[in-house]
Amino acid sequence: MEFVSDLWLGASTAFLPMNLVYCFVGVLLGTAIGVLPGLGPTATIAMLLPMTFELQPVSALIMLAGIFYGAQYGGSTTAILINLPGESSSVVTAIDGYQMARKGRAGAALATAALGSFFAGTVSTLLLAVAAPPLAEIALSFGPAEYFSLMILGLVASVALASGSLLKAFAMIVFGLALGLVGTDVETGAARYTFGIPELYDGLNFVAVSMGIFGICEILRNLESESERTVGVKRVSGLMLAKDDLKRIVAPVLRGTALGSILGVLPGGGAMLSSFAAYALEKRVSSNRAEFGKGAIEGIAAPESANNAGAQTSFIPMLTLGIPGNPVMALMVGAMIIQGITPGPNVISSQPALFWGMIVSMWIGNLMLVVLNLPLIGLWVRLLTVPYSMLFPAIIVFCCIGAYSINNNIFDVLVMAGFSIVGFALSKMRFEPAPLLLGFILGPMLEENLRRAMLIGQGNPSIFVTSPLSLVLLLIAVGLLALVLSPRIRKTREEAFVE
Amino acid sequence: MTFKRLVKIAGFAGLLMGAAFQPLSAEEYPSKSVTIIVPFAAGGNTDAFARLVGQELDKRFGQRFIIENKPGAGGNVGLGDLSRAKADGYTLGMGTVSSNAINQTLYKVLPYDKDKGFAPVSLVATLPNVLVVNPKLSVKTVPELIDLLKKEPGKHTYASSGVGTSIHLAGELFSTRAGVKMTHVSYKSSGQAIMDVVAGHVDMMFDNIPTAAEQVKAGKVLSLAVTSAGKADLLPETPTMASYFPGFEATSWHGLFAPPGTPPEIVEKVSKAVGEILREPAMRQKLEGMGAKPEGNTPAEFAKFIDVETKKWAETIKAAGVPLQ
Amino acid sequence: MVGIRNGRDFVGGLSMMVTGGLFLWFGRDLEVGNSFQMGSGYFPRLLSSLLILIGLIMAAKSVVVEGDHDADTPFNPKALLLVIGAPLFFAFALTPLGLAPTVFLVTAGVSFASIYVRSVRALALGAGLALFASILFTRLLSLPLEVFGPWLSF
């Protein structure tokens, strides 16, 4: 009955009125700031970090965790409403979410995101409570070779993000991979495509690129067709989910939760992959395949669940091993060190109140998030009824400030402007931006892990097939590639026949 | 606090005379808020040190000391801004061993005048690195490790948080001094790097002490030596690398700088205040809890220290053949 | 000469080839190494070549296979110029003018990209957003920005 007493300890910490308040404040601030374009979880936490210095360690961490998933949820909101993914994991949410919003179903899309996230958060928090240490072992078993194979699998899956031509999707992935090259080469330290600009040494910033290619570019497209369509979005109908919708999202939410929980544990970009993977999987197995890319509710339910499940389980490496898996966790570790707690493998036994308190508060935070956001949906949706001629200048201004706030540098604003031109040109040629962004995210990880694996293996590539885990991942990738290619080939043949 | 009031009176008096006198005199400094540029992201060690010291400077001078994070290019972006700021003491900046002693050699082009450099104010804190190895390597001491590396040159790997970081160059310095060959595996962050050492994908690493010490205490990795001149409080059992190689020192240090040409009286004034802050028991306890050693010195001492460090790392970079960026 | 059946894809393929070529050209000094000892130029070379190849296939295909005939939206140079120009103006005006005047000018200016713009509304929106942004970002979120920059302070 140790588990029950542990949970009791956690509950008695998390339910302290003070901690409940900090949890709520964190979730509220996170959501409020996260909905501003360009301010994703990392930026939001970094901005609010100093506020927590004066708090008790447990309260500080509870509040930071609240900010984290609040901001993540806020990011999905902008992705759905104005096609502006504020972070990598909401890129796929934007694909079908924004299409739903344009059809006047923004309310249903947001409700799906909220409910899916809550369900996923509940399951993965429970998972965290019962199985954190064994799950941490999975994280340790992933070395460079395994990550490389996982990235290959991710790339193959990303082809599924595109709804149009396969060749064009490939072109966009490769273009994205190439853009990921910009910056200092991690293994040798050589500067690549930096043109002597110091700001480029750390590479192009994802948020700036994504705001340009998605958000600003979307405004351009809307303004071009302004005369035909008086408002950007048709009048909204039905804020909540219909019975039929609920039936459609159950299975995707379950699959997304499972996928996200597992991938989230992997610190080298697993959480990032989870929403892409969930979308790709759904597109394969769903009976509404044809609707994907045109506003399929499954295309929101699965990635949003995966994303939130991954967000919870991404705490596992930090809480059990003391190792931050992503920039957000690194910020958390920084906050803990300032508080005088250095996270390490002993943190569960040496700080049980902190560990269990955080786990229980995660669930409370998720509950608060859904309670807070379901009523807010009406407000967000009403935002879309504001005349577009007033909405778009505001979006542009917030994008500019958001881009600036990434590094407190105007350079990222220029990057955003540049990529809005690139995005506009690409959309004129009917290239889709989502595969490009995925390539951009995966590229550096793919290259680093490949070269790292070769270094460790003394230049012997057999490492990728002698590791069982890596071999399995590669085999799945090959199988998936065959699956992706075969029906397309058949389809083009059929089309050619018709002509 | 009487000192604070004194400063306020001085500031008020200065305001009254402001019309007639140059506003740059040290007595009335600071008469408005001061910005401290941190050339790294929020949440890291440098940021934490800046915030801790900045908070105390706030109280001491009765003016706000605002932290501005300006990350990029290993600190070069933020320092470029610092060098272009008005040299009136109202813009200060944090610098580290990498941004102010290693980058000078590592980068072919810097966004500021390398020769003019900066006006050093005071060293704030140092963090020692510790050499940790995965237990699978079955070495327990530095001599055992050297034997193994000599037997199998180039076969063993060490991780770092990036080319040219103090963590990487500590490894290079060790290879040079011990006359061994290891393969360098670079990561984007020290978190990713230590993860692969704990998991056994990479054999060893020189890591910053606070996080590494926890892994040592849990038995996930073995600590062989610390790279500071004296033993580290967090790992009292671990010998120093200097006991094997006299003079071996590779710490990650963090200090306060002003733009070049800042009036020496103002630099002196800030430096004195920082020194006093770092001698306060509460501050010492806070920094030591983070595994850091509170420092504090005069501008002249700090300048000399930087000089020695810059030369040492220039030699290491050349000896190791690290390609310049 | 054979006619091009899908002009859009032909241009698309061509631009991918040009992009690949640019990556190849600007990465020409990077060390390539070999498959076992990859240098910093190995991946750039590989990806640029791949991009050129894909572009080539696309262009070739566009000559043979007919494309979709969805009509393009009419080109709107005024909107394009204003919307792309807004962030550029923002970037260069932020430091000298400060946040409030920059936000006001960007908002009011970019409003004219819409055909439904009304001057009074644009100005009011600009003023409102300037006030809102100044309070939110400098006071509440304490971004290191000045409300009024050095060009406007006395």
What are C115-137's pLDDT values in tens digits? 888 888 899 999 999 999 998 88
3-state secondary structure chain B: CHHHHHHHHHHHHHHHHCCCCCCCCCCCCCCCCEEEEECCCCCCHHHHHHHHHHHHHHHHHCCCEEEEECCCHHHHHHHHHHHHCCCCCCEEEEEEHHHHHHHHHHCCCCCCCCCCCCEEEEEEEEEEEEEEECHHHCCCCHHHHHHHHHHCCCCCEEEECCCCCHHHHHHHHHHHHHCCCCEEEECCCHHHHHHHHHHCCCCEEEEEHHHHHHHHHCCCCEEEEECCCCCECCECCCCEHHHCCCCCCCEEEEEEEECCCCCHHHHHHHHHHHHHHHHCHHHHHHHHHCCCEECCCCHHHHHHHHHHHHHHHHHHHHHHCCCCC
Structure tokens at B265: 């009286």
Question: Beta partners for B207?
Answer: B130
Q: Is residue B146 part of a domain?
A: yes
Give A 235-294 residues with CB within 8 A of chain C: none
Per-residue confidence band for A496, with pLDDT thresholds at 50, 70 and 90? very low
Q: Which residues pair with B232 in a beta bridge?
A: B235
Using CB atoms and an 8 Å cut-off, which of residues 61-100 of chain C contact chain B? none
pLDDT bin (cut points 50, 70, 90) of residue A171 is very high
Residues 6+ apart with CB under 8 A from C154: none
Asked if residue B139 and residue B90 are part of one domain, the reply reads: no
Is C49 found in the same domain as C15? yes
Q: Are residues C60 and C81 in the same domain?
A: no
Task: Examine the domain organization and report whether B218 and B228 are in the same domain.
Answer: yes
Cross-chain Cβ contact B191/A345 below 8 Å:
no
Q: Is residue C81 domain-shared with residue C57, that is, in the same domain?
A: no
Q: Are residues B153 and B220 in the same domain?
A: yes
Amino acid at C123: L
Look at residue C127 and tell me if it is in a domain. Answer: yes
Token couple for A407: 């590094």
A139 touches B: beta carbon within 8 Å: yes
Of the candidates C27, C72, C57, B311, the residue with the CA atom closest to the CA atom of residue A185: C27
Do C56 and C82 lie in one domain? The reply is no
Do B232 and B257 reside in the same domain of the chain? no
Nearest CA to CA, how far is C81 from chain B (Å)? 30
- Taking CA atoms, B171 is separated from A185, A410, B206, in Å, by 19, 36, 7
**How close A324 comes to chain B (CA, Å)?**
6
**CA–CA min distance A260, chain B (Å):** 20
Instruction: State percent of chain B over pLDDT 70.
Output: 92
Pick the residue of A408, A447, A454, A470 with the most B CBs within 10 A to test the interface with B by mutation.
Answer: A408
Q: Of B186, B219, B243, which marks where a domain is finished?
A: B243
pLDDT at B21 over 60: no
Helices A106-141, A243-264: inter-axial angle, 10-degree rounding: 20
Q: What is the model's pLDDT at position A487?
A: 62
- Do B292 and B232 fall into the same domain? no
Average pLDDT on B308-321 reads: 90
Which of A47, A144, A343 lies at the smallest CB-CB distance from B201?
A: A144
For position A1, what pLDDT does the model report?
60
Rounded Cα distance between B37 and B72, Å, is 12
- Residue B155 in any domain: the answer is yes
Task: Please give the tally of structural domains in chain C.
Answer: 2
> For chains B and C, what is the number of CB pairs under 8 angstroms?
4
Do the domain assignments include residue C149? no
CB atoms C142 and B35 under 8 Å: no
Instruction: Report the C-alpha gap between B185 and A285 in whole angstroms.
Output: 40
Q: Looking at CA atoms only, how far is residue B68 from chain C in angstroms?
A: 6
- From chain A, pick out residues whose CB is under 8 angstroms from the CB of B72: 198-199, 201-202, 407, 409
Lowest mean pLDDT of A370-384, B20-34, B129-143, name the range.
Answer: B20-34
| DSSP of A191-236 | EES-TT-GGGGG---HHHHHIIIIIIHHHHHHHHTTTTSSSSSPPP
CB distance from B58 to chain C under 8 Å? Answer: no
* C147 inside domain: no
Q: What gap in Å lies between CA B195 and CA B197, rounded to an integer?
A: 5
With contacts defined as CB-CB under 8 Å, which chain B residues touch C144?
35, 66, 68
Residue B24 forms part of a structural domain? no
Are C94 and C132 found together in one domain? yes
d(CA A169, CA C12): 12
* Boundary-marking domain end, from B181, B213, B243: B243
The verdict on residue B92 lying in a domain is yes
Asked if residues A63 and A22 have their Cβ atoms less than 8 Å apart, the reply is yes
Residue with tokens 């790097």: B193
Subunits with at least 3 CB pairs below 8 A relative to chain A? B, C
CATH code of the domain covering residue B197 = 3.40.190.10
- Per DSSP, chain B holds a count of helices (H) and strands (E) of 12, 10
Residue B210, chain A, CB below 8 Å: the answer is yes
Chain A interface includes B192 (CB < 8 A): yes
Beta bridge partners of B129: B208
pLDDT(A231) > 50: no
The pLDDT value given to residue A38: 78
pLDDT at position A236, please? 55
Q: What is the pLDDT of residue C3?
A: 65
Query: Which residue of C lies nearest to A176 if distances are taken between CA atoms?
Result: C47
> Residues with Cβ < 8 Å from A190, sequence gap 6 or more?
A184, B323, B325, C30, C31, C40
Overall number of domains in chain B = 2
Q: Is B66 on the interface with C (CB under 8 A)?
A: yes
B16 CB near a chain A CB, below 8 Å?
no
Distance CA A57, CA B80 (A): 35
Ranges of chain C whose pLDDT falls below 70: 1-3, 68-70, 153-154
Lowest mean pLDDT among A44-58, A305-319, A386-400, A451-465: A44-58
- Locate the chain C residue with the closest alpha carbon to A404: C91
What is the per-residue pLDDT for A389? Answer: 86
DSSP 8-state secondary structure symbol assigned to residue C4: P
Distance from CA of A220 to the nearest CA of C (A): 6
- C94 lies in the same domain as C131: yes
CB contact under 8 A, B68 and C144: yes
Contacts of C96 in chain A (CB under 8 A): none
- Of the pLDDT bands very low, low, confident and very high (cuts 50, 70, 90), residue B1 is very low
pLDDT in tens, B152-198: 998 999 999 888 888 999 999 999 999 999 999 999 888 889 989 99
Question: Which among B223, B243, B263 is the end of a domain?
Answer: B243
Does C23 touch chain A if contact means CB atoms closer than 8 Å?
Answer: yes
Supply the range of the domain harboring residue B265: 31-126+251-320
* Least confident segment among A178-182, A260-264, B105-109: B105-109
Q: Which of B76-80, B242-246, C89-93, C136-140 has the lowest mean pLDDT?
A: C136-140
Token representation of residue C72: 């393009």
Residues spanned by the domain of C51: 7-64
**Binary contact (B69, A408; C-beta < 8 A):** yes
Residues of A in contact with C44 (CB under 8 A): 178, 181, 192-193
Indicate whether B87 and B168 sit together in one domain.
no
CA A498 to chain centre: 40
Calpha distance B163→A17 (Å, rounded) = 47
The domain spanning residue B101 has which CATH number?
3.40.190.150
Q: Is residue B206 part of a domain?
A: yes
Q: Which of A225-229, A374-378, C140-144 has the lowest mean pLDDT?
A: A225-229
As a whole number, mean pLDDT of residues A160-169 equals 80
Residues B180 and B267 placed together within one structural domain of the fold: no
Min mean pLDDT across A23-27, A160-164, A168-172 is at A160-164
Six-digit token pair at A227?
């005369």
Mind giving me the DSSP string for A154-176? HHHHHGGG-SS-HHHHHHHHHHH
Chains with 3 or more CB pairs under 8 A to chain C: A, B
**In the prediction, which pLDDT does C152 show?**
78
Reported as half-sphere exposure (CB side, CA atoms, 13 A), residue C64 has a value of 7
Q: What single string gives the DSSP state of each residue in A449-469?
A: HHHHHHHHTTT-TTHHHHSHH
Nearest CA of chain B to the CA of C25: how many Å? 19
